[in-house]
Amino acid sequence: AHEPTTVTITGAGGQIGYALLFRIAAGDMLGPGRPVRLRLLEIPQGMKAAQGAALELQDCAFPLLHGVDVTDDARTAFDGTDIALLVGARPRGPGMERADLLAANAGIFGPQGAAINAGASDAVRVVVVGNPANTNALIAAASAPDVPADRFTALTRLDHNRAVGQLSERLGVRPDAIRGVAVWGNHSATQFPDVEHATVGGVPVERALADALGGQDVATRWLDDEFIPRVARRGAEIIEVRGSSSVASAANAAIEHVRDDVLGTGDDPTSAAVVSRGEYGVPEGLVCSFPVLSDGSGYRVVEGLALDERARRYVDASVAELVAERDAVRALGLV
C-alpha cells in the first residue's frame, strides 16, 4: 500500500480550488491506489470558503482521503508537501499596469517558492495555475534555490485540451483519435497551438483538414484565422457565454497535468510549460510551453521536431513576450 501523498493547493477557497479538491480526493489525479492528504492554503479572506470546502470533503467520506488541513501560513502549508498546485493569484485590477500585476504576483509566488524551498519533500513537484502562470513559476523557482528548477512547471494543458477539442469538432472525430498537438510559448493570447506534427487516426492532421475543408490553402487559413485565435481566446469566449471564467476545465487540466507528470505520459506527448534548457532556441531559464513527455520522473521536452518558417514566427512571438515578462520582473529585482 502507498503512503499518503501530501498535496498542497493554494487558493483552495476559490473557484478552481472548489473544482479541484473533490476530484483529487476521489483519486482522479493519482489513481485509485494512492491515498492523499490535502493542505489548503488561503489568505485570511479566503479561509472560511476553504474551511467550508473541508467540511464538505469530510461529508464525502472519500476512502482515499487521509486528512485535510486548512491554513493561511505558507510554511505550514508546504511542510513535507509532495505535490503543490499553486492556484491562488492576484487578478489584474482596474487600472493595473502589467508591471504592477507582475510585482503583486511576485509578492505571492516569491514567498511560496521560499516556503517550498524550506519545507517541501525532496521529491516535490510544483505546477503553477495562477496567472501570469509562466512568469509566476519563474519567480517561484528562483525563490527555491535548493529545489531543482525542473520541478517547477506551469499549466498549458488547458490550452492543449482546447486545441484537441477544436480539432475533434472540426474533423468529426473523437478527441482520443488526435495525437501530437503541441502548445508552444506563453499561457496567453500569444500562445501557439501547433498541429504540424499532429495526427488523426494515424493521418497527418494537416492532410485530414485539407481533405475535410477542400484544400491545403483553406486548411492553413482555417488554422491561422480561426483555430489559433479561438484556442488562444477561449478563456474570453467562456466568460462571454458562461458569465464566469473557465473553472471545471481548468481544474481538469491541472489534474491531467499532474497525473501525466507523476504517472507518465506513455509515448503520447502532451503540452506543459517547463524551464527551458535552450531547446528550440528558447532562452535558457524561461518557463515556456513545449511538447513534452514524462516517464513518471517529470516532464522532458520532446526534441528534434522540425519547425517551418510559419511555426518559427509564432513561437518566436510568444517567446518574445516571455522574455519581456522576465525582463520586467528582473527590472523589479524579483528574479
Binding-site residues for NAD(+): 11-17, 105, 112, 129-131
User: Which residue in the list 160, 187, 197, 257 is annotated as catalytic?
Assistant: 187
For the chain, the C-alpha Rg in angstroms (whole number) is 20
Count other Cβ atoms within 10 Å, centred on residue 50.
24
Q: Which is nearer to ligand NAI, 43 or 324 (CB)?
A: 43
In the bound complex, what is the minimum distance in angstroms from residue 117's beta carbon to ligand NAI? Answer: 16
Beta-bridge mates of residue 299:
294
Place of cell 510544483: 126
**Could you tell me which of 139, 129, 185 has the C-alpha nearest to residue 320?**
185
**Nearest residue to ligand NAI on Cβ basis:** 14
Query: What is the C-alpha to C-alpha distance for residues 278 and 271, in angstroms, rounded to an integer?
Result: 17
Q: Which is nearer to ligand NAI, 47 or 213 (CB)?
A: 47
DSSP track, 2-61: PPPEEEEEETTTSHHHHHHHHHHHHTTTT-TT--EEEEEE--GGGHHHHHHHHHHHHHHT
In the bound complex, what is the minimum distance in angstroms from residue 7's beta carbon to ligand NAI? Answer: 15
Q: Which is nearer to ligand NAI, 20 or 142 (CB)?
A: 20
Query: What is the C-alpha to C-alpha distance for residues 275 and 255, in angstroms, rounded to an integer?
Result: 20
Maximal C-alpha separation, the chain:
59
Dihedral sign computed on CA atoms, order 171, 173, 179, 185: positive
| Contact residues for ligand NAI, defined by CB under 6 A | 10-11, 13-17, 41-43, 45-46, 87-89, 91, 108, 129-131, 133, 155, 158, 187, 245-247, 250
In the bound complex, what is the minimum distance in angstroms from residue 243's beta carbon to ligand NAI? Answer: 13
Provide the annotated binding site. Answer: 11-17, 92, 98, 105, 112, 129-131, 162
In the bound complex, what is the minimum distance in angstroms from residue 307's beta carbon to ligand NAI? Answer: 23
User: Which grid cell is 57?
Assistant: 470533503
Cα-based angle 16, 1, 263 (whole degrees, multiple of 5): 50
In the bound complex, what is the minimum distance in angstroms from residue 40's beta carbon to ligand NAI? Answer: 9
Phi-psi region of 296 (alpha: psi -120 to 50; beta: other; left: phi over 0): left
Active site residue 160: no
User: What does DSSP assign to residue 93?
Assistant: P
Q: Which is nearer to ligand NAI, 64 or 273 (CB)?
A: 273
Q: Which is nearer to ligand NAI, 64 or 138 (CB)?
A: 138
Q: Which is nearer to ligand NAI, 14 or 180 (CB)?
A: 14
Query: What is the C-alpha to C-alpha distance for residues 310 and 257, in angstroms, rounded to an integer?
Result: 28
Query: What is the C-alpha to C-alpha distance for residues 172 and 51, in angstroms, rounded to an integer?
Result: 44
**Could you tell me which of 321, 250, 263, 249 has the C-alpha nearest to residue 289?**
321
In the bound complex, what is the minimum distance in angstroms from residue 221's beta carbon to ligand NAI? Answer: 27
How many distinct helices (H) and strands (E) make up the chain? Answer: 12, 14
Which sequence positions are flagged as catalytic? Answer: 187
